[in-house]
A = this chain, B = another copy of it.
């Protein structure tokens, strides 16, 4: 049985493993949104947030996704430039803007969402269906840790 080594072991270092897994699983899908819509990863995520949860402010996206606000800001600008999303002034807060997808943005989300779901299924297939639920839970715990 494998046990924790006495010396530091890079290849069992959790941040390292997670980075590699994240990189490996993201890269395949990256080609999809890059080739079809010229999007960056952050743009795809912002689109997905708005597509899934509906209109919200940039601040909300930051809070939900833990993406840096400058990244969100630039992704929003790019998506707006591509006609994927529109900004509306918030009636309650003069600083904030309500972001929502345009028809074009919704169409992109519909297509990419389906492809993403398919990708997710094959990934979960490689770890096994029961284990995959456990995996989610562990990842969430790490994300929400101190």
Contact = CB atoms under 8 A, between A and B. Distances in A.
Interface in A43-84: 45, 48-49, 52, 65-66
Q: How many copies does the complex hold?
A: 2
A100 to B, nearest CB: 16
Contact of A139 (B21, B134, B145): B21
Interface residues of A, number: 50
Contacts of A126: 141-142, 145
A116 interface: yes
Nearest to A121: B4
Nearest to A109: B8
B8 A15 contact: no
Interface of A: 2, 7-10, 12-26, 29, 45, 48-49, 52, 65-66, 113-114, 116-117, 119-120, 123-124, 126-127, 131-136, 138-143, 145
